Amino acid sequence: MPYLHAPEDLGEVVGEEPSYRVDQLHDWLYRTPVLHAEDMTNLPGRLRAQLAETLWPFKVEMEQESDRGTTKKWLFRAPDGAAIETVLMGYRRRATLCISSQAGCALACTFCATGQFGFERHLEAGEIVAQVAYARAFLRQIGMPGVPDRLTNVVFMGMGEPLANYARVREALRRMIEVMGMSARSITVSTVGVVPGINRLAEDPWPVYLAISLHAADDELRSSLVPINRRYPIEKLEEAAWNYFEKKGRRLSIEWTMMDGVNDTDDQARKLAAIAKRLRAHVNLIALNPTPLSEERSSSRLHIAEFARVLESLGVNVTIRDTRGKDIDAACGQLRIMAGNSPEAG
Ligand code: SAH
């Protein structure tokens, strides 16, 4: 099995080597990750050579950057051909990694590139954690201009629906928090509203942040944009989100992608405000990023600001999220597999 070798498999990996090698390797994988096995300086050459082949569960097929080197997108390719996209966004005081939980996505939200592409497969826990380990190693060893060398936040906002891949995402969270030592409050799980997944996450021990991708505040509109709303309508979603909030005491956030003439009306703002207030949630407005197959257009900047003002006047906390990496298709909803198997190529 390729890395990220599960912590409990390390004995097998070091083989005949003395048992303290397990601890050394554990540190290299989970505490102070490095990009290449040869950088694991206290391990014998033979072990390093063996690890060179199995360190990462994927090859780095493409690395792109934008925003003057402070946004980086990686396209990782698993041995079976599955593509995994990961985006690192550096700021003055933090570095946020946007990770994928599935190759593709089955939920088919109309405006999302990953949804337009369809579902390939679930990612394994090791493949999810490896994205985090890779970015940590990158920040430590190469870094970004003016950005801390430490990964401060991880968001499950790349490809896929994390709560539709619950068991593996759970194991990834466990390793990130209990093995890598990340704080639960540095992690955000973003969901389009898989209610049973929210309920299971509420029973897990870690108080990670939960983001709800709402996008529409009544069932008719929401079902037309986010098909899974037919199965888990807004009322059920609200119930699950409130339960999560009560159990964890973590402020919820609502993600709202601004689509011109679709969900940016005063009527939607009022309905959204009511939901946000019931849930005591913070609202993030995101300009729609264009995708090849979507008809929707983004609301104008001016209109987004106006929509935010309406929400504020109704007592809601709102942030207009900035967009990173648009030019390299690294922005929200743009992640998908470009190399030869995009929908229009197929
Ligand atoms: N499936 C999860 C996580 C992946 S999407 C979820 O839906 O939350 C991460 C965020 O990007 C979601 O809020 C999603 O609605 C938003 N998004 C998707 N497509 C987008 C697009 N074209 N422009 C802007 N945001 C988009």
Per-residue pLDDT of 110-140, as tens digits, reads 999 888 888 999 999 999 999 999 999 999 9
Q: How many CA atoms lie within 13 A of 261 on its CB side?
A: 3
What distance in angstroms lies between residue 136's CA and the mean position of ligand 1's atoms? 24
Domains 1-55 and 56-345 share a fold: no
Shortest-distance Cα residue to atom 21 of ligand 1: 333
Segment holding 81, helix H or strand E: none
Q: What is the pLDDT of residue 8?
A: 83
| Mean pLDDT value across residues 137-156 | 97
Mean per-residue pLDDT of the chain: 93
Provide mean pLDDT across the span 191-217.
98
Work out the average pLDDT over 245-270. 97
Task: Please say if the pLDDT value at position 342 is more than 60.
Answer: no
pLDDT(106) > 90: yes
Give residue 4's pLDDT: 67
What atom of ligand 1 comes closest to residue 158's alpha carbon? Answer: 4
Per-residue confidence (pLDDT) for residue 21, from 0 to 100: 94
30 in ligand 1 pocket by Cβ < 6 Å? no
Q: What is the pLDDT of residue 270?
A: 98
| Residue whose CB lies within 8 A of the most ligand 1 atoms, among 190, 191, 329, for a mutation test | 190
With 60 as the cut, is the pLDDT of residue 343 above it? no
Residues tagged active-site: 85, 332
User: CA-to-CA distance for 221 and 267, rounded, in angstroms?
Assistant: 12
Instruction: Say which residues have a Cβ less than 8 Å from residue 308's Cβ, sequence separation at least 6.
Output: 285, 318, 320
Would you state the pLDDT for residue 6?
A: 81
According to the model, what pLDDT value does residue 61 have?
93
pLDDT confidence bin for 295, thresholds 50/70/90: confident
Q: Residues of 131-157 as b/e, b for ≥16 C-beta within 10 angstroms?
A: bbbbbbbbbbeeebeebeeebbbbbbb
- Give the global pTM: 0.95
| 341 pLDDT more than 70 | no
pLDDT tens string 2-44: 456 788 888 988 888 999 999 999 999 999 999 999 999 999 9
Q: What CATH architecture applies to the domain 1-55?
A: Orthogonal Bundle (1.10)
pLDDT at 3: 54
Q: Parallel, antiparallel, or unpaired for β 59-66 and 95-98?
A: unpaired
For ligand 1, is residue 161 a contact (CB within 6 Å)?
A: yes
Give mean pLDDT, residues 224-250: 98
Work out the pLDDT band at 324, boundaries 50, 70, 90: confident
φ and ψ at residue 287, rounded to 5 degrees: -65, 140
- Number of other residues whose CB lies within 10 A of the CB of residue 251: 13
* pLDDT in the model for residue 116: 86
Ligand 1 pocket: which of 131, 157, 326 to mutate (most atoms within 8 A of CB): 157
Compute the distance between CA of residue 203 and CA of residue 255 in angstroms, rounded to an integer: 23
Which pLDDT value is given to residue 124? 95
Please tell me if the CB atom of residue 213 comes closer than 6 angstroms to any atom of ligand 1: yes
Structure-model confidence comparison of residues 101 and 113, the more confident one:
101
What residue ranges do the domains of the chain occupy? 1-55, 56-345
pLDDT greater than 50 at residue 281: yes
pLDDT of residue 71: 95
End-to-end C-alpha distance for the chain, whole angstroms: 31
Q: Which CATH number describes the domain made up of 56-345?
A: 3.20.20.70
Distance of CA 54 to the CA centre of its chain: 24
Label residue 262 by pLDDT band (50, 70, 90).
very high
Best of 213, 253, 304, 329 for a ligand 1 pocket test (most atoms within 8 Å of beta carbon): 213
